[in-house]
Structure 1
């Protein structure tokens, strides 16, 4: 594919173009320009996408004169959020390990892997530092081995079974520096103790003012579930929990499920059918993904994250804290590092519609028992998950990586198991 630059107010999107060192601006304001590449596997604005945007902004703030290329597999809503921080956005193939495509990747996809690794290697060679937003970007992790000391991989997932073995092997092979987004993620990958790694909790730029604490039981509870529709997230468990409520309590809940399935219309249709069969169509609505969730958080009294499989952390739960909304989460993965059960929200066993139903009944019928949760939720966000704390941890790892690249990969060491913003 030929290069097709699109100029908008001086900003460039390039298609399938590998930048060589000679084409970077070498000097700016009398200083050598750092060359940074940031690689992401998606193009939407779900939690991992928004986290990537915030990291790119953090990198720009730390290195204001750097040339920053952002590599995406295709254009999408995320582009508009990256324009201010990126020097250029490059749309080019990225070899991503997705569960839904494993059979194709293991057959037809393997033919494209050598070319993908070669492309990634050229870009790593052309960069002083490469930030990879997830372990599933296999081509960059494979290529990183050949130029160690330049790549930082940010681990945002807790895979299971064979997938965990494959991704753990990729990280070890890559010799990349590692940022884990939670202690749970670090524990799942069980990396060797001589790895250069840090735990840095995802932070967000929350609203200046949280929601007022307003639920007193005089109206239906406004319950929000935001995110992809998938077997992992547990939308069907939440619907079943509401169905199990006594009629009087069930009538006092209004639920909004916002998001869509990734290339899976059948899953979305099955969820709508479940809601109808449970007789909940009047009080449970399903809406497509929205780029700006602020109005939804302003509407909600409680945010539900009933995940059935391990969440590496849980951005939606953090966003809820920022708005002063108590989250109702499953006790699995990094979610337990976000929510303090009985203080800032509720933690229930994963996959248990019965336990979730009992907790919802308590929330609806006894609002006095959690009157202090909203203020405590906001305070925890400010103490642990504010964007400035995450920026400090990420910037520290980037500086270490630059230092190691200049000194040589064996001359500088960083402590393992040293969270930059530990939960208080």
Structure 2
């Protein structure tokens, strides 16, 4: 199917017998095949949630090869190229997204735009047989979903806290959308009613055909990678402090690459660079901007660090590390404990503790014999639980259920039972 990139709204493009922006008789009304699917995403970069969205759109394309698939984004960015071949059209238009840094503006000036945003979302839902909404913060589509029930699936990829959790939980309940949770931790945090139609589907990825060989033996510096958005939540500052606390003889045997950018926050990037310089770590630690393809970084790394300070709903970077046969070093919080088996496929440390992180790093550097089997075990865990085919099966099952318009009880994913029983950290 021809791919169209649209950088403004209101443009109608047709391809054969498919009319993407409305004007067709939907499968729901006419009883025919699925003809139009809308996929909505709140981002435009290529971080973990963005890459997960692209993979889900590809899953939808494989399940419904003849459908017209509109992808709605708030802004053009690196994600657009990754959607080619799966999306029929990219639509760039305003989306009412609940971001922490913009909540005050949304609660004041933004409220004036909300009715128009909901009306726009409602038109798209009405013109679609199925609507896939990636994450709970896409408020306009979730508000509109209640008015046309039985068409919307929301994919939950976050574990908010406090008032934010209350707001987002209420938004999902209001929407009456079917729900995909990306981990049991996410499902537990949102605590939906028992009559909700929901399932847990772990994020799956397309891993490399050949993982990295197990190669660290202590004869050279340990190559430590931290990949992701620079933010307080991700814990770059804690990791830098942990390296500063290492004994001099150990610190000199660590090379850390921090790769990522802050979201519209140059000051945070500058503060991280200043911390590295003030700690005297400029020779051991390098900070680089976001890259769209991290393959070469994973090929370089011996260990991948995910020292998150607040609950991760799952942790795509940790899953990607497993796929490359790299043991992850993660915080024992949220869905990360469903990915890593402590002292078997990686290491789990208390969140926010630079001291505990530093002690574990010292052991990793000085005792490679203790973890020589971790790389092979990491790859095996990826293949057993986090392969993209398993995720595609779970997502496709929820889409079929939604199209049937039949309610169902909360259910878990097809991931093996040991995903929960063996991964507590």
Normalised by the length of structure 2, the TM-score is 0.93
The 3 A distance-change label for structure 1 pair 237 and 423 is farther
> Is 1:334 matched with 2:340?
no
Asked if the contact 1:24/1:67 (under 8 Å) is kept, the reply is no
Name the structure 1 match of 2:315.
314
Name the structure 2 match of 1:150.
151
Deviation at 1:283, TM superposition (A): 1.0
Deviation at 1:17, TM superposition (A): 2.7
> Is 1:229 matched with 2:230?
yes
Name the structure 1 match of 2:71.
70
- Secondary structure of 1:38's counterpart equals strand
Which of 7, 13, 19 is 2:6 aligned to?
A: 13
Deviation at 1:32, TM superposition (A): 4.0
Distance 2:416 2:317 in 1: 19
Gaps of 5+ in 2: 12-19, 419-425
Distance 1:208 1:359 in 2: 30
Asked if the contact 2:199/2:410 (under 8 Å) is kept, the reply is yes
> Is 1:415 matched with 2:416?
no
The 3 A distance-change label for structure 1 pair 423 and 73 is farther
Q: Give the RMSD, CA atoms, in angstroms.
A: 1.5
Name the structure 2 match of 1:380.
381
Q: How many residues align?
A: 406
Distance 2:366 2:41 in 1: 44
Deviation at 1:12, TM superposition (A): 3.7
The 3 A distance-change label for structure 1 pair 23 and 75 is farther
Name the structure 1 match of 2:249.
248
Matches within 5 A, 1:150-229: 150-229=151-230
- Secondary structure of 1:224's counterpart equals strand
Deviation at 1:13, TM superposition (A): 2.0
Asked if the contact 1:152/1:177 (under 8 Å) is kept, the reply is yes
Distance 2:417 2:294 in 1: 25
Distance 1:12 1:267 in 2: 33
Distance 1:268 1:291 in 2: 18
Distance 1:214 1:397 in 2: 41
Normalised by the length of structure 1, the TM-score is 0.94
- Secondary structure of 1:333's counterpart equals coil
Deviation at 1:233, TM superposition (A): 0.2
Name the structure 1 match of 2:125.
124
Distance 1:322 1:356 in 2: 23
- Secondary structure of 2:45's counterpart equals coil
Asked if the contact 2:34/2:129 (under 8 Å) is kept, the reply is no
- Secondary structure of 2:72's counterpart equals strand
Asked if the contact 2:8/2:93 (under 8 Å) is kept, the reply is yes
Distance 1:33 1:55 in 2: 17
Distance 1:131 1:144 in 2: 11
Gaps of 5+ in 1: 1-7, 405-411
Deviation at 1:413, TM superposition (A): 3.2
- Secondary structure of 1:44's counterpart equals coil
- Secondary structure of 2:246's counterpart equals coil
Asked if the contact 1:260/1:288 (under 8 Å) is kept, the reply is yes
1:107-156 deviations in whole A, cap 9, x for unaligned?
00000000000000000000000000010000000000000110000000
Deviation at 1:15, TM superposition (A): 1.6
- Secondary structure of 1:15's counterpart equals coil
